[in-house]
Amino acid sequence: SIPAHTVFDTKDWTQADDGYWYHNSIVEPGAVTSSLFTKVTIGDIETESQKTFNIIIYAESVQAEGHHNIRDAFAGIR
């Protein structure tokens, strides 16, 4: 595998012990958050075919109203 380095926004986002990144505030309907990451650099590239790659994003959301924090909100749907 090729080593990669990602620059994450740790002002507005926090990575939890479960590996997920959480936005630090409630996101209002229709609002846009800051980007989770701003830059990805990859290490030594040996072939032309390695210069192209995909970044796959998985997102989940939950209704925050009525909960004290994100963990309580997600626990309510399990």
Q: What is the mean predicted confidence (pLDDT) over 48-71? A: 79
Count of Cβ atoms closer than 10 Å to residue 11 Cβ: 8
State the pTM of this model: 0.68
Whole-number mean pLDDT of the chain? 83
**b/e map 37-76, b = 16+ CB within 10 Å:** eeeeeeeeeeeeeeeeeeeeeeeeeeebeeeeebeebbee
Higher pLDDT, 74 or 38: 38
Number of domains in the chain: 1
pLDDT per residue as tens digits for the range 10-45? 999 999 888 889 888 888 889 999 999 988 888 777
Question: Is pLDDT above 70 for 50?
Answer: no
Note down the domain range covering 17: 4-75
